[in-house]
């Protein structure tokens, strides 16, 4: 019997979007304090535990609970998983967890989004567990600026992580949050990174996420503006859309001296891509969320811990998919209307 006969039917929402991709925020903790992600009050703390600003471990879903949810979601037709956070690599036991995930039949891909600080340390084991795609967030190539943006002087660690990942043959995408006055003077250097190394460099519009976000309109640069700057750096030729390009518009960049690389532009605000969104997110506090920018959530953790059956959990996952909003309204923030963004913290939602 061919395997295709046993595959579940695709999960489709009420706007005909096929939902195939689950993002898990494994923890809200992080070894960096990026200025746009962690609220000011979280910066520079000696002890995360004492302040109580991070979730206590009992509030995180255990690996056992996460595995149960992933197995059910895969059984329903989801086949791609991304581990994020907070910083996924700071959670104890993450490699064993990935090992268990890799044994789930029907789960085609496990991808990782990381700040790269611990990547050099774990890259080999990640490769051994079958992880092939890694997104590394890096907003500057200047070590001092890195310290300013992230609160920690760990640029070299991230760089070593990138080099290790490249040497091991991972497909690496570098995510750069574009911020006027912060890193817009480095776009040419990032272009060279894409031209000289096997990395796809993707620029993301700065989003006003979280009720204490440091987002300022003055710092916003649209993906179109970044793309125009790149047209001055080299020739941009669009790649045909691939399934896992996700929301990025991806181009081949060719410089005047004939070097080639890959760059992408992600425009959650200026041209939202909600009509193609294929994702669900499980927050680090165990809430299932159908949109990054909409605070509507289903409490899967509460359900699991009250002894719910698989059938009940499946039914809530299905309902969350059916309730997935058609789109978000971030654009109105830019047009000067009252801020209508999500209040949840990016580190809990997982970006
Ligand atoms: N710690 C990991 C990392 O930094 O890659 C994973 C979690 S982080 C929340 C996921 C992504 O969200 C990162 O690429 C980060 O740059 C992005 N991000 C966080 N806050 C953002 C914001 N306000 N606007 C745009 N992107 C943001
Ligand atoms: Fe940590 Fe990632 Fe947030 Fe930076 S963006 S503080 S690395 S979770």
Q: Model confidence over 98-107: pLDDT tens digits?
A: 999 999 999 9
- State whether the beta carbon of 88 lies less than 6 angstroms from ligand 2: no
Q: What is the pTM of this model?
A: 0.91
- Mean pLDDT confidence for 251-267: 95
CB-based contacts of 347, cutoff 8 Å, min separation 6 = 25, 28, 29, 30, 37, 38, 85, 86, 284
Residue nearest to atom 4 of ligand 2 (CA): 34
CB-based contacts of 333, cutoff 8 Å, min separation 6 = 208, 269, 339, 340, 341
DSSP state of 12: B
- Mean pLDDT confidence for 14-23: 93
- State whether the beta carbon of 203 lies less than 6 angstroms from ligand 1: no
Output the CA 146–ligand 1 centroid distance in Å: 14
Q: State the number of CA atoms in the 13 A half-sphere of 126 facing the CB.
A: 29
| Greater model confidence, 242 or 92 | 92
Residue 333: pLDDT over 80: no
Ligand 2 atom at minimal distance to the Cα of residue 31: 1
Q: Domain boundaries in the chain?
A: 4-349
Residue 41: pLDDT over 60: no
Q: Which of 309, 314, 310, 311 is nearest to 298 (CA)?
A: 314
Rounded Cα gap, residues 162 and 253, in angstroms: 20
Ligand 2 pocket mutation, candidates 118, 207, 347, criterion most atoms within 8 A of CB: 347
Cα torsion angle, 311, 308, 78, 298, sign:
positive
Distances (CA, A) of 50 to 41, 53, 54, 286, 307: 13, 8, 9, 22, 31
Torsion angle, alpha carbons of 232, 155, 244, 133, to 10: 130
250 touches 263 (CB < 8 A): yes
Output the CA 22–ligand 2 centroid distance in Å: 19
pLDDT tens-place string over residues 154-180 = 999 999 999 999 999 999 999 999 999
Q: Which of 166, 172, 159 is nearest to 200 (CA)?
A: 172
pLDDT for 344: 64
Output the CA 103–ligand 1 centroid distance in Å: 28
Ligand nearest to the CA of 204: 1
Superfamily assignment of 4-349 in CATH? Aldolase class I (3.20.20.70)
Ligand 2 pocket mutation, candidates 37, 140, 210, 283, criterion most atoms within 8 A of CB: 37
Ligand 2 atom at minimal distance to the Cα of residue 115: 7
Output the CA 109–ligand 2 centroid distance in Å: 23
Residue 88: pLDDT over 80: yes
pLDDT for 144: 98
Q: Model confidence at 329, in pLDDT bands (50, 70, 90)?
A: low
- Mean pLDDT confidence for 311-332: 86
Output the CA 84–ligand 2 centroid distance in Å: 10
Q: Model confidence at 52, in pLDDT bands (50, 70, 90)?
A: very low
């Amino acid at each position: 019997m061919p395997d295709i006969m046993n595959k579940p039917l695709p999960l489709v929402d009420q706007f005909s979007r096929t939902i195939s991709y689950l993002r898990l925020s494994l923890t809200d903790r992080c070894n960096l304090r990026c200025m746009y992600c962690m609220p000011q009050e979280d910066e520079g703390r000696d002890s995360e535990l004492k302040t109580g600003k991070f979730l206590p471990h009992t509030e995180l879903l255990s690996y056992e609970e996460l595995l149960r949810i992933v197995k059910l979601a895969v059984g329903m037709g989801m086949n791609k998983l991304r581990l994020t956070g907070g910083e996924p690599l700071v959670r104890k036991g993450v490699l064993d967890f990935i090992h268990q995930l890799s044994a789930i039949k029907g789960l085609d891909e496990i991808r990782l989004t990381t700040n790269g600080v611990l990547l050099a340390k774990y890259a080999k084991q990640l490769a051994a567990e079958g992880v092939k795609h890694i997104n590394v967030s890096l907003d500057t190539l200047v070590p001092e600026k890195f310290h300013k943006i992230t609160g920690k002087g760990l640029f070299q660690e991230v760089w070593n992580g990138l080099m290790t990942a490249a040497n091991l043959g991972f497909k690496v995408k570098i995510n750069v949050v574009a911020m006027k006055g912060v890193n817009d003077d480095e776009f040419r250097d990032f272009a060279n990174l894409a031209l000289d190394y096997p990395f796809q460099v993707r620029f993301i519009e700065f989003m006003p996420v979280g009720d204490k976000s440091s987002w300022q309109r003055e710092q916003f640069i649209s993906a179109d503006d970044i793309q125009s700057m790149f047209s001055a750096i080299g020739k941009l030729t669009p790649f045909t859309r691939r399934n896992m390009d996700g929301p990025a518009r991806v181009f081949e960049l060719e410089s005047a001296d004939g070097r080639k690389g890959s760059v992408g532009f992600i425009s959650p605000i200026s041209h939202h891509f909600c009509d193609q969104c294929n994702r669900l997110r499980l927050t680090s506090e165990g809430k299932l969320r159908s949109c990054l920018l909409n605070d509507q959530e289903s409490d899967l953790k509460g359900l699991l811990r009250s002894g719910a059956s698989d059938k009940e959990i499946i039914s809530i996952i299905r309902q969350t998919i059916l309730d997935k909003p058609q789109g978000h309204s971030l654009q109105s923030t830019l047009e000067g209307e009252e801020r209508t963004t999500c209040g949840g913290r990016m580190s809990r939602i997982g970006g």
